[in-house]
Amino acid sequence: MAVFTRRLEFTTKAENDVVDMTEDVQQVVEESGLVAGVATVFVPGSTAAVTTMEYEPGLAEDIPGMLERVAPRDIPYAHQKAWHDGNGRSHVKASLVGPSLSVPFDGGRLTLGTWQQIVFLELDIRPRKREVVVQVMGG
C-alpha cells in the first residue's frame, strides 16, 4: 500500500464560508498516481469542518443556517467565558460536523455521487488562512 500526502492552503472570508474542494481533492488523487484506495481530507483546526453536500446556493445557505440554530450566537458559551475570543459557537459547530472525511476512489476517480461535493466549512468568526491535509492511500 502506498501513501501520498498534500496540504492545500487557502483563505476564507469568515464564518459560514462554504468552499467546494472537490476538484482540489480529485487533483491530489490524480497526482498520487494511485488507482484505487481512500482519500482522507482533514482540517487541522478546531473551528472548521469538512463534509459532503450538494454544493449549490440554497444548501450553501441552509447548512450554515442549520448550524446557527444548533449553536446560536446569542447564548453564553463556557469557552467564551474562559478565552473571551467570541468563537465558542464556532468550536461547537466544528465538533458537531467533524474535522475529517474519507472518500473512496477507484480508477483514479473519487466515488462521489452525481450531486455530491466535498466542502470545507469555515466556522470561525473571522477570515482565516487555512490548511487542509489530503492523504491518499491505496494501490
Indicate the domain borders of the chain: 19-138
CA 45 to chain centre: 10
Cell numbers that stand for 9 in this block: 492552503
Question: Residue 81: what pLDDT?
Answer: 87
Question: Residue 60 phi/psi, 5° resolution?
Answer: -65, -20
Q: Residue 137 and residue 32: Cα distance in Å, rounded?
A: 9
Q: Residue 125 and residue 108: Cα distance in Å, rounded?
A: 37
Cell numbers that stand for 76 in this block: 453564553
Total-model pTM: 0.95
Question: Residue 137 phi/psi, 5° resolution?
Answer: -130, 135
Q: Residue 37 and residue 31: Cα distance in Å, rounded?
A: 14
User: What would the CATH number be for the domain defined by 19-138?
Assistant: 2.60.120.460
SS3 state at 119: strand
Low-confidence ranges of the chain (pLDDT < 50): none
Question: Residue 80: what pLDDT?
Answer: 87
Question: Residue 6: what pLDDT?
Answer: 98
